[in-house]
Amino acid sequence: MSVGLPVFAYAFFAVTAMERPLREPLIAMLVISVALTVAALDSFGLLFVYAASAASVRLAGRASVLAVAAITALAAATLAVTNPEAGVFWGVTATVFATGTLWFLIGGLLRANAALREARSELAELAVADERLRFARDLHDLLGHDLSLIALKAELAGKLLPTGAEAAATEVDDIKDLTRNALGQVREAVDGYRRPTLAGELAGARVALEAAGIDLRVEDRSGTLDPEVESVLAWAVREGATNVIRHSGARHASIRVRPGLAGAEVEITDDGRGGNGVNGSGADPGHGLDGLLERARTIGGGLEAGAAPEGGFRLRVSVPSPGAETGA
């Protein structure tokens, strides 16, 4: 018994280690369970519980069911040899079967969760691959025509140089214009590719503010937004959170994102020292708010920043929905 139990424990951990073979450690567990139950005490029949549990976790489907049934039958047969009391016999047998069945169900959940994690990982990889293909396709569509023209005009300019300097100079000027245009399109494509998302900025603001010791309350009822509208609101969340951390000295802050029929707005407030504002306040809003104001005005929106009536600082950015009327 002094040797059997340590060997049994080692075999049990070997069975539950998913990367190791199942057969040999499980057989060792069953042999030790039979030997100790027959040679020592009837209560060692409970060792079959561990064997049934480990087998049901490692195996799947029909194999797991058959393993639990076979181990339960082996436990019953072993106990029958020792001729224990009826309570002990049925108690141990029922415990082996019930525990094995329970771990069969748990094992199914574990395998389902593992499959779900693997599927999520594959979906994430596919999403990255699809985005790379989309970006490559967009660059090809944007640059293919211009680069073809650049190549043709460069070739033509080379042919004209010996005989027609003026015509060659005209072609070179066209090449410069096409090059600038292509470069501008690449910058626009990259800017769109790096466009922030509202969900990402809200998550980032929560992490940053909590790290700074500022309690944050978020109210987001935005739903699905136009990409340009979402981009401006996301920049507003980033700038507002940065200002709260750097300048407010606040202990609490809130971010509210509210959609509407005519547009959407985001409001960032805190309970800090308050501050200067824009839109008629005569104060210098700083480069961050300047840039944010420009982004909002680009799509017909506006920005308000300054001391809130209840104290602290408030930043509000509102933008209209595409096609909405911005004013009479």
pLDDT value at residue 326:
40
Q: What b-and-e string marks burial along 50-81, b requiring 16 or more CB atoms within 10 Å of the CB?
A: bbbbbbbbbbeeeebeebbeebbebbbebbee
- Distance, in Å, from the CA atom of 272 to the CA atom of 285, rounded to the nearest integer, reads 17
Instruction: Report the 10 Å Cβ neighbour count for 160.
Output: 17
Q: Are 138 and 105 in contact (CB under 8 A)?
A: no
pLDDT value at residue 130:
74
β-sheet with 313-320: strand ranges across: 215-220, 252-259, 263-270, 313-320, 302-307
| First-last CA distance in the chain | 93
- Distance, in Å, from the CA atom of 280 to the CA atom of 304, rounded to the nearest integer, reads 9
Question: Looking at residue 84, what DSSP letter applies?
Answer: -
Instruction: Report the 10 Å Cβ neighbour count for 134.
Output: 11
Sorted by sequence, the CB contacts under 8 Å of residue 14 that are 6+ apart come out as 20, 25
Secondary structure (DSSP) of 246-306 = III--SEEEEEEEE-SSEEEEEEEESS------SSS-S--HHHHHHHHHHHHHTT-EEEEE
pLDDT value at residue 283:
37
As given in the structure block, the two tokens for residue 192 are 């769109």
Could you list the pLDDT tens digit for every one of the 328 residues in the chain? 566 777 777 777 777 665 566 777 778 888 888 888 777 777 777 788 888 888 887 777 788 888 888 888 888 888 888 877 777 788 888 888 888 888 888 877 877 887 888 787 777 777 777 767 766 766 666 666 566 667 776 777 777 777 767 777 777 777 777 777 776 666 666 665 666 788 888 888 888 888 788 899 999 887 778 888 888 898 899 888 888 888 788 899 999 998 877 788 999 999 987 655 444 333 344 567 888 888 889 889 999 998 888 888 999 999 987 755 444 3
Q: Find where tokens 């590719």 sit.
A: 193
Q: At what angle do helices 227-243 and 198-211 cross, to 10 degrees?
A: 10
Sorted by sequence, the CB contacts under 8 Å of residue 255 that are 6+ apart come out as 202, 205, 216, 217, 218, 219, 220, 237, 240, 241, 266, 267, 268
